[in-house]
DNA sequence: ATATACTTTTTACGCGCGCTAAGTTTTGAC
DNA sequence: GTCAAAACTTAGCGCGCGTAAAAAGTATAT
């Protein structure tokens, strides 16, 4: 490896013994040049560490090879996990992913979308804030940029939506809980930051009605994404209030459930399905840590792999075709019931 | 807001009624133009949504306003949390942060550093893989780009290192555990992916010796970042082996501890400090979820805020000064003992 | 050998902006 | 009203590359 600095493609082309446009062509698609030419370039590539200037490249290309990945809250392991999958898929497919987190704030989401727009990305994988999103901004963005929405659906926006069938999650869990014990009450936030809470509540109400049981919903106070803390604090409040109608509780998501488990522990309640336990607690999401709670959390898990794969594939297809789908596609994946010992 | 599309700075300058260089000057520093001129530009900015083409801008500036943030594993809530802090600080200071995760892989870390180099960043905040890092690559990178290392120190590399005093963590915890009960044994990974494990082991050995106790270390088998799972599986193996010399165990980090708690639960062991408990479990890190385990985890917490603040400030100072510090600076923050009920 | 279809080279322009130098206007202090 | 300083305008180069068109070269088939 020579230490000689190569300034630009012109110089590098000289080292290869080919012309600059040919080198340019090579970088756009190594297969588009003759095998012999390719070898010469690749040999030079090993002797000198030259990289095309990304800014010059992107300025001149109509569309870049960038892909934006936007999640509402990256410190949530659920999104961290999905982002990890997506990033890897993008790299494998030869794109340059850029990762953004809205940190739960509308202004930041808007700002990210604006930044993204000026990046001329080939496409964007967007998990919007949901209710907290600025609908008009997101809508306009999706018109301008090929976008796959995931996790959180905003009706009519984006070319494709890929996510989980949230009512199915709740319905399956309610059914399971009813068959194995007392019908559950429902623990959720009054003003949830995460997008799918509304659908889950409705799913609970519908499922309970279908099973012929009276629903009971407890709404936790609190704002923001500190879900475990809210689950703990409000869980204690709920337990102390004596309002609980049932010894089975379904939490709107695993993070609330983790908090609620802590509340139970603090109140000396034994959680689980065995005879000597006082209460059953279930969650929803298949949170990466849900198998390590005490007791391990019974939950309905997203099909992470499928959601990431499908989102990425959909976007890649759109990019390759060059045209957006005529009608909006929606793909919902079922969740998988994971029976552990908490419920 | 007019819908008229503005193609470039030339056009936008015309709308403002000022010349292009003046607009350019404004975007580089709004205070560098006369107040009246600034008003005219900002009014136009409200009527038309123009943004300078970031690729053209970055191509022509010697240094961009980009800051790279690199962490070894973003799906680890510890790094997610720090990354969130850092990102916010960069934006506040007028920079454009780009977030990268090495996903625990050396090749990816190298690739990220290469990408970063070609981004001509003003500076980089780097939490390296540590032992798994390619020392030469990181070293060369730090010579080329102003870099603040954080969390994981690589001796002699980078202009500044900001992190926690890991031996102090272990030492403090060992002291606490010895004063309140049986001296702890130590639970760690044989080949830990996280960088500071070595220092913690040494800290344990030193502290035990200082206290006049015989150390006992159990090394968990397993590779990668699935620390909870390893803690659970190997925890069970340890408990079943009957090798445990003490009823107090200190885990090398909170994620292992979370797994170990699950192992205890599964084995019917009651964890905690009260009389009716069988075992005390402590962790290290102040993991965001450590307060929601059952029982809540006694741990030594990083000073997240201080580490992020200091890292960011150090980098900003280097960037503003324009010159790198003559000698390498190291700043270690003490951890805070957080007494909960697990130990 | 000749025709045909690819590849590659040459030449040249354009992208949008940073930056500089020279000339012009505006500002504010006296 | 004068005058120097500050802010502006005009003009123009350069950054590193994509890309298009035309010319030249090269592989494959007849």
**B84 interaction partners in chain A (CB closer than 8 Å):** 74-75, 101, 103
For all residues of chain A together, what is the average pLDDT?
92
A226 CA vs D20 C1’ separation (Å): 56
Option in B81, B96, B101 nearest A75 (CB): B81
| pLDDT tens-digit series, residues B155-166 | 888 889 999 999
- Whether A3 has a pLDDT exceeding 90, the answer reads no
Strand C nucleotides where any atom sits below 7 Å of a protein CB:
7-12, 14-21, 27
φ, ψ dihedrals at A67, nearest 5°: -130, 125
DSSP states along B57-92:
HHHHSSS-SEEEEEES-TTSHHHHHHHHHHHHHHHH
Q: Is the pLDDT of residue A323 over 80?
A: no
* Residue keyed to tokens 């008009």: A136
Q: How many CB atoms lie within 10 A of CB B215?
A: 18
Give the angle subtended at the CA of A21 by the CAs of A18 and A25, to the nearest 5°: 100
Residue in A29, A99, A61, A86 with CA at minimum distance from that of residue A315: A86
Q: Which pLDDT belongs to residue B2?
A: 63
- Convert the pLDDT of each residue in B161-200 to its tens digit: 999 999 999 999 999 999 999 999 999 999 998 888 999 9
Residue of A85, A283, A294 to mutate when probing chain B, most B C-beta within 10 A: A294
Nearest chain B CA: its distance from A270 CA (Å): 11
CATH architecture of B166-301: 3-Layer(aba) Sandwich (3.40)
Structural class in CATH, domain B66-163+305-332:
alpha beta
Q: From the C1' of C10, which residue's alpha carbon is nearest?
A: A19
> Out of A55, A259, A296, whose CB is closest to B58?
A55
State the angle between helix axes of B197-211 and B166-180 in degrees (0 to 180), rounded to the nearest 10: 40
Specify the pairing of strand A160-164 against strand A147-150.
parallel
Contacts of A29 (CB under 8 A, 6+ apart): none
Distance, CA of A338 to chain centre: 20
List the domain boundaries for chain B: 9-52, 66-163+305-332, 166-301
Provide the pLDDT for residue B326. 79
Whether the pLDDT of residue A18 is over 90: the answer is no
- The answer to whether the beta carbons of residues B120 and B66 sit under 8 Å apart is yes
3-state SS track over A42-57: HHHHHHCCCCCCHHHH
Q: Contacts of residue B59 in chain A, CB cutoff 8 Å?
A: 53, 55-56, 59
pLDDT tens digit string along B25-61?
A: 999 888 888 888 999 999 998 989 899 999 999 999 8
Give the model confidence (pLDDT) of A76-122 as tens digits: 888 999 999 999 999 999 899 999 999 999 999 999 999 999 899 99
Query: What is the CATH code for A66-164+305-333?
Result: 3.40.50.2300
Return all residues near A281 (Cβ < 8 A) that are at least 6 apart: A249, A251, A257, A260, A261, A264, A271, A297, A298, A342, A343
Q: Looking at residue A335, what is its pLDDT? A: 95
What Å distances lie between residue A279 and A185, A246, A261, A267, B111, CA to CA?
11, 9, 10, 12, 50
* Structure confidence at residue B3 as a pLDDT band (50, 70, 90): low
- pLDDT (tens digit, 9 = 90+) per residue, B231-247? 999 999 999 998 888 89
From B70's Cα to the closest Cα of chain A, the distance in A is 12
Q: Which nucleotide is nearest to B63 (CA to C1')?
A: C18
């Amino acid at each position: 490896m020579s230490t000689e600095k190569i300034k630009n493609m012109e110089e590098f082309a000289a080292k290869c013994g080919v012309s600059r446009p040919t080198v340019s062509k090579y970088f756009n698609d190594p297969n588009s040049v003759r095998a012999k030419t390719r070898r010469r370039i690749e040999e030079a590539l090993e002797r000198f560490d030259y990289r095309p200037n990304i800014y010059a490249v992107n300025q001149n290309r109509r569309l870049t090879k960038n892909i934006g990945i936007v999640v509402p809250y990256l410190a949530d392991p659920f999104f961290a996990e999905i982002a990890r999958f997506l990033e890897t898929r993008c790299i494998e497919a030869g794109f340059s992913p850029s990762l953004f987190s809205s940190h739960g704030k509308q202004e930041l989401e808007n700002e990210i979308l604006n930044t993204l727009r000026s990046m001329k990305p080939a496409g964007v994988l967007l998990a919007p804030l949901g209710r907290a999103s600025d609908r008009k901004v997101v809508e306009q963005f999706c018109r301008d940029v090929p976008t796959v929405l995931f996790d959180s659906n905003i009706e009519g926006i984006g070319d494709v939506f890929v996510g989980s069938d949230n009512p199915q999650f709740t319905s399956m869990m309610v059914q399971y809980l009813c068959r194995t014990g007392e019908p559950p009450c429902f623990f959720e936030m009054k003003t949830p930051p995460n997008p799918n809470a509304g659908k889950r509540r409705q799913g609970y109400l519908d499922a309970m009605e279908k099973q012929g049981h009276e629903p009971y919903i407890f709404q936790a106070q609190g704002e923001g994404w500190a879900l475990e803390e809210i689950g703990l604090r409000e869980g204690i409040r709920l337990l102390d209030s004596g309002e609980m109608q049932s010894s089975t509780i379904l939490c709107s998501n695993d993070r609330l459930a983790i908090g609620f488990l802590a509340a139970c522990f603090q109140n000396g309640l034994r959680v689980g399905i065995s005879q000597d336990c006082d209460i059953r607690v279930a969650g929803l999401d298949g949170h990466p840590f849900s198998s390590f709670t005490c007791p391990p959390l019974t939950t309905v898990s997203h099909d992470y792999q499928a959601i990431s794969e499908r989102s990425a594939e959909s976007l890649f297809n759109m990019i390759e075709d060059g045209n957006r789908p005529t009608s909006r596609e929606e793909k919902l994946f079922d969740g998988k019931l994971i029976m552990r010992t908490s419920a």
